[in-house]
Amino acid sequence: MITCFIRYQIDPFKKDAFAHYARQWGQAIPRCGADLIGYFAPHEGSATTAYGVYTLPSLAAYEAYRARLAEDPIGRENYAFAKREQFLRSEDRIFLKLASAPHAALVKP
């Protein structure tokens, strides 16, 4: 399993646009095959950093997922919405594997 962390730099005056964008991905991402952990918008501290986090079985599964997302009606509209509203200043992805497992199994009651 891999986890994709997307770090966004957003326009601090367009947080509502980012929230709409996040809600739309909340529908499209699971439908296209990824397990969405969530989208996280600024609350305290930085007013410009936001995150999207989801998991997939592999990088090959990621490639297939991205192709489905590009064809998904909500996905296409969300890409167009971001381009039109210009609230995203930058977007960086990193893929990580869980290294601490099985951490939950080590906790004793």
Please state, in angstroms and rounded to a whole number, the distance separating the CA atoms of residues 8 and 87: 10
- Please give the chain's pLDDT, 109 residues, in tens: 999 999 999 999 999 999 999 999 999 999 999 999 999 999 888 899 999 999 999 999 999 999 999 999 999 999 999 999 999 999 999 999 988 877 655 555 5
Model pLDDT, residue 100: 83
Please state, in angstroms and rounded to a whole number, the distance separating the CA atoms of residues 38 and 16: 16
- Which pair of tokens denotes residue 62? 């990621």
Q: Show me where the domains of the chain are located.
A: 2-99
From the options 3.30.70.100, 3.30.56.10, 3.40.50.300, 3.40.640.10, give the CATH code of 2-99: 3.30.70.100
Model pLDDT, residue 46: 86
